[in-house]
């Protein structure tokens, strides 16, 4: 059982502003057993104000933004060392609270964030914090990258530590102070991260955590003390965040939904392609924003690819996320389970052919919020299962007649987060990639979340970039300085 009865604000653990009676701990339930796995208090409006005020003071008058970049790198390196010591605890907690299979939790939910901490420190060491360039008037211009200020980082539940680290670490390295708003479903790992930060002995107010619901997030986003909002979540919620930021003329980065297409060319191997799509589409029970959920296959070879996909999906091990053999765990909540089942019923009613899976629970798993890996074929791109983000283990196969039609179908979406092509000819794959409107793309794989490469989308998948050196750019503003040798 994981329990926190205090909030991490201004470098210390404190009771909610209204006290425990006004803010009793909220329970987090296991998606597998449906039993309580932990509790934590939620912040209220006064706590949002306290956290922003602490972050504001840390930025305006504290030492953090005034340190040399090398000193901040040293502090984050120290934090990464403590995080490494707690990685087993973090993986077990994330698996318990969101149902991620423990093998996946260890790799993608903990090891990858730890790798990113190290990578961002490397990027920061080489970052052009200051550079001189010749001006057009015969004088040199100095360009200094200054921290943007107080950052509100709002993250969803599906990849909580990965998404937290992509925001918090580059912001801290840039010299910003941060207020983190985790999702209610994954609030426990955010509290554990606060313990790690406390042990790293960063200056007070540099990092603060606000567990809570939508009201807490809305107040934080609109708070006049916040300079920049970095949000990952649904497109609908992202629109509201953008409107809130517009009122205060805040900078904002949005990483939103996706409905990514895998274009399978006629020279691709069915088994290798099915394996690649399975890895890219069904990790974390399909609860990944850049999952390949539309599978575009050549009409003349459709049955080969459908059969290979069905065989792979039907053999996946479903069950207890604590079991290292489990490949597919439960969905994060009963609400999410019902939502995904609704899409499966929609696929039936719109005329798609169910190949494997379906809305019925997996055998022997009547408890827990499970959905079987589900494959539809004979679908068209105007069906709901092909147009809307399901966020579950549901794949839709759509046949095409030539490459031109495949590219048209891939681009016929309001989203543009990711995409892939599978082919025996890599150069042919690059040619396809150049014609698909997406922020990221993979050739013979789902897009690889390499810490060195910028990640983000176009269209309704948002704007702004995370990861890579661009991830630090997102938390800096350029100050231009011109100098005369003496006053005029």
Q: Which of 35, 53, 74, 255 is catalytic?
A: 255
85 is catalytic: no
Sort 144 into a burial class: Cβ within 10 Å, 0-12 / 13-18 / 19+: middle
**Cα within 13 Å of Cα(246), Cβ side:** 6
Instruction: Say which residue the tokens 């068209």 belong to.
Output: 380
Q: Which residues contact 487 (CB under 8 A, 6 or more apart)?
A: none
Task: Please answer whether residues 17 and 51 qualify as being in contact, where contact means their C-beta atoms are separated by less than 8 angstroms.
Answer: no
User: b/e string for 34-53 if b means 16 or more Cβ within 10 A?
Assistant: eeebbbbbbbbeebbbbbbb
Q: How far apart are CA 222 and CA 250, in angstroms?
A: 9
Q: How far apart are CA 103 and CA 89, in angstroms?
A: 13
Q: How far apart are CA 62 and CA 55, in angstroms?
A: 9
Sort 405 into a burial class: Cβ within 10 Å, 0-12 / 13-18 / 19+: middle
Three-class DSSP category at 267: coil
Active-site positions read 255
């Amino acid at each position: 059982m994981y329990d926190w009865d205090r909030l991490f604000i201004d470098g210390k653990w404190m009771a909610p502003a209204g006290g425990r009676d006004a803010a009793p701990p909220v329970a987090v339930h296991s998606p597998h057993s449906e039993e309580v796995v932990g509790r934590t208090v939620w912040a209220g409006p006064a706590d949002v104000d306290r956290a922003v005020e602490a972050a504001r003071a840390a930025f305006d008058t504290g030492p953090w933004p005034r340190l040399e970049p090398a000193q901040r790198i040293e502090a984050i390196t120290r934090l990464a060392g403590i995080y490494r010591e707690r990685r087993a605890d973090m993986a077990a907690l994330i698996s318990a609270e969101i149902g991620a299979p423990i093998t996946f939790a260890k790799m993608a939910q903990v090891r990858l964030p730890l790798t990113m901490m190290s990578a961002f420190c490397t990027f920061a060491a080489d970052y052009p914090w200051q550079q001189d360039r010749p001006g057009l008037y015969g004088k040199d211009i100095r360009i200094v990258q200054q921290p943007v200020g107080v950052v509100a980082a709002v993250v969803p539940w599906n990849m909580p530590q990965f998404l937290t680290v992509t925001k918090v670490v580059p912001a801290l390295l840039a010299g910003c102070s941060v207020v983190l708003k985790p999702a209610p479903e994954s609030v426990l790992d955010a509290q554990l991260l606060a313990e790690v930060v406390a042990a790293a002995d960063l200056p007070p107010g540099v990092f603060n955590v606000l567990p809570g619901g939508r009201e807490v997030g809305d107040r934080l986003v609109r708070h006049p003390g916040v300079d920049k909002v970095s949000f990952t979540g649904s497109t609908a919620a992202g629109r509201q965040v953008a409107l809130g930021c517009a009122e205060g003329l805040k900078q904002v980065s949005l990483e939103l939904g996706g409905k990514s297409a895998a274009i399978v060319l006629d020279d691709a191997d069915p088994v290798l392609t099915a394996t690649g799509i399975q890895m890219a589409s069904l990790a974390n029970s399909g609860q990944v924003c850049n999952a390949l959920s539309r599978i575009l296959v050549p009409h003349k070879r459709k049955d080969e690819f459908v059969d290979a996909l069905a065989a792979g999906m039907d053999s996946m091990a479903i069950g207890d996320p604590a079991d290292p053999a489990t490949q597919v765990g439960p969905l994060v909540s009963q609400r999410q389970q019902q939502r995904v089942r609704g899409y499966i019923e929609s696929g039936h009613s719109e005329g798609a052919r169910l190949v494997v899976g379906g809305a019925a629970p997996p055998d022997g798993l009547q408890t827990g919020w499970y959905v079987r890996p589900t494959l539809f074929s004979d679908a068209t791109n105007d069906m709901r299962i092909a147009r809307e983000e399901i966020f579950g283990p549901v794949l839709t196969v759509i046949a095409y007649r030539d490459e031109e039609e495949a590219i048209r179908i891939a681009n016929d979406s309001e989203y543009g987060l990711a995409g892939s092509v599978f082919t025996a000819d890599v150069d042919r794959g690059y040619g396809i990639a150049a014609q698909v409107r997406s922020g990221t793309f993979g050739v013979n794989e789902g897009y690889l979340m390499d810490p060195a490469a910028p990640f983000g989308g176009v269209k309704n998948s948002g704007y702004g970039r995370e990861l890579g050196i661009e991830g630090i750019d997102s938390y800096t503003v350029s100050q231009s300085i011109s100098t005369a040798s003496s006053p005029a």
